[in-house]
Amino acid sequence: TSTRDIMDRRNREGGRGRGRQERGRGRGRGGGGGDQQDGRGDGIGRGRGRGGDGVRGGRWPHQQPPHPGHRERDRPQREEKVYHPVGFRLLEERLELPPEQLVLWLMADRGVAALLSMEQVNNTRIILMLLSAVKKATEAGRSENLTELLIRVRDSNIFKSLSVYLNSVSVESNREQKDMEMLVDVLLFLLEHYMLVLPSDSQDMVSLLALVLESRILGLLGLERQNYHLNRIKERVSECRENRKEKKMEAKKKVSGLEEPPDNFREISIFPTVVDISNKKPFLRKNIIGGAYRDLDTYLDVQFRLLREDFVRPLREGITDFKEGMKLGIQVGKVQNKDIRVYHEARILFPEITPQGITHQIQFSLDGLRNIRWENSKRLIFGSLVCLSSDNFQTLIFATIANRDPKKLAEGRIDVFFQDASSEDLSVQQTFVMVESSSYFEAYRHVLRSLQQVTETNMPFQKYIVGERRGDIDPFADEDDEDTEDMLIPESPRYLTHNTTYDLTPLMKADCITQGKSVVVRSKLWPAGDSMDLDKSQLEAVKSALTSEIAVVQGPPGTGKTYIGLKIAEVLLLNHEVWNTSKGPILVLCYTNHALDQFLEGIMNFHDKHIVRVGSRSKNEALAKYSLTNLRSTMRKERLVPRDIHGNINDIRFQMHSIQEEILHSSVKMEAAAKHVLSERELEEILSDDVQDLLVGGFAEISQGDFMLQGKQKKPKSIMAEWLGVGSSVKVIEMMGNMEVDQNRINEEEAANDEDIDVDEDAQHEEDKRVTEADQDLMDFLKSNEKRKQAIKEEMDIAFDMNEDQHDVADGQNAGNQGNQNNHGWQVSRKEKRRRMNLARKELMKHSLMSSAERQQKESLLWYQSSSDRWRLYRTWVRDYVMLCQDSVKRMQEEYNRHSRRLAEVRDQESLHILKTAKVVGMTTTGAAKLHTMLQNLKPSIMIVEEAAEVLEAHIVAGLTALYLLSHYETLFLQTCGEDCVPCTEPCLRACPHNQCSALCSQPCTGKLCSQPCKLLLPCGHPCIGLCGEQCPTKCRFCHSEEVTQVFFGPEDEPDARFVELADCHHVVHAESMDSWVEQAGAGGQVGLAECPMCKTAVRTTGRYNNAVNHHLIAVERVKTKLRGEEGTQMREELEVETRALVTAEIQTVDENEKPLYSDKEKEKLIQLVKTLLSPEKSSQHTQDEEH
């Protein structure tokens, strides 16, 4: 059912509800009448559009109770308000919104939230309008926000009560019958959509509603024809399971020695796998330089695998060398490899919260690394890939560096983003070997993902990049014929006509400006060379760039390539009304941030507005005002952010903040446990009552009862520090006679064994090339969050603070005696304090623990244990303490990450809103790959790549797919004169895996029309209704059900019907019937093109019927030949072409089992027979040679 049908059948009895009351600048609007009431909203508005009861826009109330483990005291309280449910008229109005905006409105509107929270709704029209809005929202394509909307609707009270309502609803009038029929259509669509996008979590709900529809509603309404739709929904779950099994089987297939790839490159993991690390001979094919690729998928497969191997190979070889070194007994830390860097005893300490998601801090051993100058070292810089393994690389966990703090690195700590790791993988108790790859993974990652998303429809300039070869080799071609290909001359851009004029004054000399005012650029009437401020080669480069759809400016250093690029940009901007019809900007891509700044600064000299620089913060002050960060900040200050975007950002941030506090508390506790000694009070959840009593009683006996003296921050002194030998009690230290010796000497020896590590490049310079705007925000957040973490830490009970002790040691001479004396008045020397600090640091770095049995035994004799046993027992307690904290984080981690992805999507919409106002958008090639989806929505019209020679081919291809593409279909005009028409020598565009044509465009096709269904998905997420190898129809069987299934030929409403969209008029017609229609068009010897059966438009440019068009053109040329009296050799040549095409099609015929009807020998005999018939004299000579 179409949206218009729903809107035309309004409930005339419902209230209109548009009460308005203006106060200042405010205006509110009540929702439409639901439940037969007249305007449920009062329409009271305050401020700038902030409505009262009938408001639009706002946040969603929380519908689920908080987890029992959450502490409500940490959550901000929000003001409780009651909002009336939205009415059907407002929902009806909002159906006019584009799908993307409708998603945001449904997410943000308080009235929609109130409607979803209703326990029961008895108005069919309200339910129909709500679900129709959700249905239209699905046309926006998959996104985190759409997924969140579908989940909220599915889990809402109104949707849960839908089965009860359907079980009890009655139909008493024609209007109610129509409404229920439309509701069934919409509901069936949504149920199937849920099984497509959220199958595992939705199957119970879908089964229940399907049962109600089948058992009651379809019979009640007489809609038994919908049973096939219901059966398809029921089969979805089993189909999904079968598909997963098949994919796994295909992935396991190993094909060696064949040219065909063993697997689909679009399904290959971008991150390396264990197989990648162990397989020394991955499937790779050479990049074709001097010829054409078979098709686009072959080209993309080659580029993808070569680029992926570029970063996998160093990792593979480095890990292999490391494992071999370990087998040979080479000392840990001494295995040298230029491709990887190895860090030992790596442990996952605790999570960190960021707006981009949850990071984790890793601790690694500094053995052999203490003399590294981390400020300058290129080790562990942002975006690098690290691989962790606890079982000699039998299993792998991958992460990327999220933040780099030289001070933390000096302590052996680094922040990372883990990739697809489970909570079991991130156990804080495991010890890993961590390997860092020398490659900048983030650059590879986003480009590889972009390559996997490239298709025939979104890849421009294929004939230049992939080549012109299509289909199979012509079986009639002579073996001695050389496959020579002419160089392709780029065509003119589609926006340039033969009469288009440009203002070329930027290219003219000062005294010749007027000559460049209006120049027809596609003509030879350009101004004289001596009037232009360019030499001959520069002028040729500018001409090529302005009149070709693709151009390369090449030359040695210092020849003015950047200068020419800027001149081209100046002319294009001056004449933007010619090419900017699509409102897409010029996209400037550079390899480095420095080159980007220089090029944009050059543009500023002649165009100082409508520029946006995307990426890391520019060091060029002149460009600062054009940075996306500053422009976004200005837009927010001036309140220019679209309301739905602003509302969703605030709503998501609020939800993230409520989770953030819980995670932050657990994170700080885990960090403190790794860096400091916790008191017995902090560990009270872990320590049994008996253990606590033994700690207190034992120390009271030793210290003669003075253990309750106050320590720092007026907290009781910790017995745990005394028990571990890092407190101030002399008696305890004397008792522990087997304490470890002074660690200073050991540390000095360790330091002496560390060699200085040379650094060849500044780390900051390398990071500048990698960091985008979002990355910089992440690092800034981690730094600013330290204050909040410090405040939480101060609330904890720390027995021995390593930071405070370091401060005391450094400032001991200035501190006097206060705080440096034990509780008997003895002064604690700096040497003793240093001993305690070194002891604590050493023991906290150890990993040895106690078993349960040993722990139970040692806990009964706490004060009679050696120092090493006490520390092992303490680490065991801390292990349990940290695991409690980690369990609380696990519950919230995925939810927080999901909100982070939602926030990123909405922020991208905010950024896109800014970018669409620009005429020039600049970014690095890495940034373009990261923002691939946003660029596709931006649809730039022109792309300029600076430093192209330094950029890998795959990076440019990934950027090209963002270019705005005009229609590929051009009108084919028939010649009406009597002159001979020149046949087209381009390859036939028809091609599919089942049947490929090897003829030229102007020749009859050699392959039959494919009847296999297309396996692609439409943008709405539903299966394509077209055929393999053809352009996918824009209509959907589900989204446009009434239009598609409208009976014309007869079989349109069959569930397996297939359709073709005619490019000439865009009517969607039943394919098999249209094939017959076109075939009958030329019957009876009439010369004429087939016409669309619906609108009578001539079928000229629909690729599927190229063969029929060519037969018509041949017939037209025959008529011309007769008129001119020329019937001789030309007729024979055409007959030969036709015969070859027919025979080629025949020998490619297959049976119902997809097996060839002819053997190879039979094919050879048939081909030779045809050659004999067509060229008897040549065949006779061949026979004589054989007899001789």
Residues 6+ apart with CB under 8 A from 78: 654
Helix (H) or strand (E) holding 414: strand 413-418
pLDDT value at 28 more than 60: no
* pLDDT tens track for 672-685: 888 889 988 889 88
Distance CA 179, CA 130 (A): 13
- 310-314, 386-390, 947-951: least confident range: 947-951
pLDDT value at 73 more than 70: no
Residues 502, 521 contacting (CB under 8 angstroms): yes
* Top-confidence residue, 126 or 706: 126
Strands (E) across 471-607 are located at 501-502, 519-520, 586-590
Q: Which of 459, 490, 461, 440 is nearest to 952 (CA)?
A: 440
Residues 133, 6 contacting (CB under 8 angstroms): no
CA dihedral 745, 746, 752, 754 (to 10 degrees): -160
| Residues linked to residue 710 through DSSP beta bridges, in sequence order | 716
* pLDDT tens track for 122-178: 888 899 999 999 999 999 888 888 999 999 999 999 998 888 888 888 888 888 899
Distance CA 272, CA 263 (A): 15
pLDDT value at 639 more than 80: yes
pLDDT value at 291 more than 70: yes
| Residues linked to residue 388 through DSSP beta bridges, in sequence order | 397, 434
* pLDDT tens track for 727-768: 766 555 555 554 443 434 444 444 444 444 444 445 555 555
Tokens 């931006």, located at residue = 938
Distance CA 1003, CA 1134 (A): 9
Over residues 371-383, mean pLDDT: 83
Over residues 983-1008, mean pLDDT: 65
Distance CA 545, CA 280 (A): 44
Nearest-Å Rg of the Cα atoms of the chain is 37
Over residues 567-584, mean pLDDT: 87
pLDDT of residue 761: 45
**Number of C-alpha atoms within 13 angstroms, CB side, residue 351?**
29
pLDDT of residue 601: 92
pLDDT of residue 572: 93
The single-letter DSSP state of residue 369 is T
Residues 6+ apart with CB under 8 A from 658: 66, 75, 76
Sign of CA dihedral 373, 375, 377, 381: positive
Distance CA 1027, CA 489 (A): 33
Confidence of residue 602 (pLDDT cuts 50, 70, 90): very high
**519-552 burial, b if ≥16 CB within 10 A, otherwise e?**
bebbeeebbeeebbebeeebbebbbebbbeebee
pLDDT value at 255 more than 80: no
Confidence of residue 671 (pLDDT cuts 50, 70, 90): confident
**What is the rounded average pLDDT for all residues in the chain?**
75
* Top-confidence residue, 76 or 950: 950
Q: What's this model's pTM, rounded to 2 decimal places? A: 0.57
| SS3 category, 1150 | strand
3-state helix/strand/coil string of 908-967: HHHHHHHHCCCCEEEEEHHHHHHCHHHHHHHCCCEEEECCHHHCCHHHHHHHHCCCCCCC
What DSSP string describes 337-363?
A: -SSEEEEEEEEEEEEEEETTEEEEEEE
pLDDT value at 285 more than 70: yes
* pLDDT tens track for 1095-1142: 777 787 788 888 777 777 776 666 545 444 445 555 566 566 667 767
pLDDT of residue 770: 56
pLDDT of residue 769: 54
Q: Above pLDDT 70, what percent of the chain?
A: 72
**Highest mean pLDDT: which of 263-277, 455-469, 1003-1017?**
263-277
pLDDT of residue 408: 86
pLDDT value at 506 more than 90: yes
* pLDDT tens track for 542-556: 999 999 888 888 877
* Top-confidence residue, 704 or 34: 704
pLDDT of residue 734: 55
Tokens 């792998």, located at residue = 396
Distance CA 504, CA 502 (A): 6
Structure tokens at 162: 């839908």
Task: Please report, as a single letter, which amino acid is at residue 920.
Answer: V
pLDDT of residue 921: 94
Over residues 989-1014, mean pLDDT: 71
Instruction: Report in angstroms the alpha-carbon separations of 914 from 146, 364, 572, 573.
Output: 22, 43, 21, 19
What DSSP string describes 295-314?
A: SHHHHHHHHHHHHHHHHHHH
* Top-confidence residue, 964 or 197: 197
Distance CA 380, CA 152 (A): 41
Q: Above pLDDT 90, what percent of the chain?
A: 15
Distance CA 492, CA 571 (A): 16
Structure tokens at 92: 């009806």
Helix (H) or strand (E) holding 320: helix 296-327
* pLDDT tens track for 896-943: 888 888 888 888 888 888 898 899 999 888 788 788 888 888 888 888
* Top-confidence residue, 35 or 326: 326
- Our CA angle for 1147, 1151, 1155, nearest 5°, is 75
* pLDDT tens track for 1041-1054: 888 888 777 788 88
Q: Which of 585, 577, 564, 587 is nearest to 500 (CA)?
A: 577
Instruction: Report in angstroms the alpha-carbon separations of 359 from 577, 654, 896.
Output: 47, 20, 11
pLDDT of residue 805: 45
- 305-314, 516-525, 552-561: least confident range: 552-561
Residues 6+ apart with CB under 8 A from 1015: 1023, 1024, 1028
Residues 1108, 1083 contacting (CB under 8 angstroms): no
Residues 6+ apart with CB under 8 A from 665: 71, 74, 792
* pLDDT tens track for 442-473: 778 888 988 998 888 878 888 888 876 544 44
pLDDT of residue 781: 66
Tokens 């529809």, located at residue = 213
Distance CA 69, CA 952 (A): 51
Terminal-to-terminal C-alpha distance of the chain: 77
Helix (H) or strand (E) holding 744: helix 744-753
pLDDT of residue 571: 94
1127 CB-contact burial (10 Å; exposed 0-12 / middle 13-18 / buried 19+): exposed
Tokens 């024979």, located at residue = 1132
Q: Which of 415, 1165, 249, 306 is nearest to 779 (CA)?
A: 415
* pLDDT tens track for 785-803: 777 778 888 888 888 887 7
What DSSP string describes 855-903?
A: HHHHHTTGGGS-HHHHHHHHHHHHHHHHHHHHHHHHHHHHHHHHHHHHH
Q: Which of 662, 770, 697, 664 is nearest to 403 (CA)?
A: 770
Over residues 390-409, mean pLDDT: 87
pLDDT value at 964 more than 60: no
* pLDDT tens track for 840-863: 888 888 888 899 899 988 888 888
pLDDT of residue 237: 63
Confidence of residue 705 (pLDDT cuts 50, 70, 90): low
